[in-house]
């Protein structure tokens, strides 16, 4: 009992991954990342997520403070949505705390699905969901490239 236990975390991940993969007809979790850099190569923002079958879950979305409110968050999310749809995802989920970005996700078409009040402290954990559109055809004739 106590702090970080890498061996336990690895074992639990292996066991739960095997169980979940079997329950989801062999669907495997795949990482999804999007990175934005400026002209000098410095990180402007990024997004980490994962896809599993028809689900995409965003873990983290961050934009550097001096670049906020310039559309980077929307561009990162749209890029992640496009890649998730390309992978066959039909649904995307994300959560944010009330002191972070709960007003941002509805502007991208996400619908609030739940709130857990009082965590952390006096704040709220807010959960969002969005149905994804199928990927757009990549050729003028409407046939896959």
The verdict on domain 27-131 having CATH code 3.30.420.40 is no
Nearest to residue 80, comparing CAs of 68, 71, 92?
A: 92
CA–CA separation, 59 and 46 (whole Å): 11
pLDDT at 1: 85
Task: Please state whether the peptide bond connecting residue 120 to the residue before it is cis, i.e. omega within 30 degrees of 0.
Answer: yes
Domain boundaries, the chain: 27-131
CA–CA separation, 91 and 75 (whole Å): 18
Query: Any residues with CB less than 8 A from the CB of 25 and at least 6 apart, and which?
Result: 53
User: pLDDT tens for residues 39-96?
Assistant: 999 999 999 999 999 999 999 999 999 999 999 999 999 999 999 999 999 999 999 9
Global pTM value: 0.88
User: pLDDT tens for residues 6-30?
Assistant: 999 999 999 999 999 999 999 999 9
CB atoms within 10 A of CB 8: 9
Confidence of residue 145 (pLDDT cuts 50, 70, 90): very low
Strand ordering across the sheet containing 91-97: 30-37, 43-52, 55-63, 91-97, 124-131, 111-117
């Amino acid at each position: 009992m106590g702090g970080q236990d890498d061996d336990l975390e690895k074992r639990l991940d292996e066991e739960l991954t095997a169980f979940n993969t079997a329950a989801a007809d062999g669907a495997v979790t795949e990482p999804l990342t999007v990175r934005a850099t400026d002209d000098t190569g410095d990180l402007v923002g990024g997004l980490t997520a994962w896809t599993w079958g028809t689900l995409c879950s965003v873990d983290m979305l961050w934009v550097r403070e001096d670049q906020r409110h310039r559309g980077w968050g929307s561009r990162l999310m749209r890029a992640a949505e496009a890649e998730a749809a390309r992978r066959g995802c039909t649904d995307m989920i994300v959560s944010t705390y009330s002191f972070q970005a709960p007003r941002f996700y509805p502007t991208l078409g996400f619908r609030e699905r739940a709130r857990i009040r009082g965590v952390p402290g006096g704040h709220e954990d807010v959960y969002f969901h969005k149905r994804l559109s199928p990927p757009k055809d990549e050729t003028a004739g409407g046939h896959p490239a």
